[in-house]
Amino acid sequence: MLIASQVATVITRLHAKVAEYRALSRSRRALRYLSDATLRDIGVTRQQAMAQASLPFWRKSQPAQQVVKAKPKAKQSQTLEVSK
């Protein structure tokens, strides 16, 4: 039956979404308890971690480039050739 198959699909998607939300909630809760040293290791400040931890489980997190400040690229040294 087409209806039974559609219901099964909806239930499967709903189950996956609930699992995703639970995992996100656990991860955000865990951020609150990481040490400053651990946060430094992953390149996140305490303020950024707390901002992520305070988001509701249904809200997508900010893109990584907004959450973690990108380190400036080192200037490439130019090699000059001297002709004789």
58 assigned to some structural domain: yes
- Number of Cα atoms under 13 Å in the Cβ half of residue 3: 0
Task: Give me the chain's average pLDDT, please.
Answer: 81
81 assigned to some structural domain: no
* pLDDT the model gives residue 59: 87
**Is residue 65 very low, low, confident or very high in pLDDT (cuts 50, 70, 90)?**
very low
51 assigned to some structural domain: yes
In this predicted model, what pLDDT tens digit does every residue of 40-55 receive, in sequence order? 999 999 999 999 999 9
Domain limits for position 20: 2-64
Please tell me what DSSP assigns to residue 81.
Answer: P
Q: Inform me whether the pLDDT recorded for 70 exceeds 50.
A: no
Angle at 71 between CA 70 and CA 74, to 5 degrees: 140
Q: Inform me whether the pLDDT recorded for 82 exceeds 60.
A: no
75 assigned to some structural domain: no
6 assigned to some structural domain: yes
40 assigned to some structural domain: yes
70 assigned to some structural domain: no
Q: How many structural domains does the chain have?
A: 1
74 assigned to some structural domain: no
Please tell me what DSSP assigns to residue 59.
Answer: S
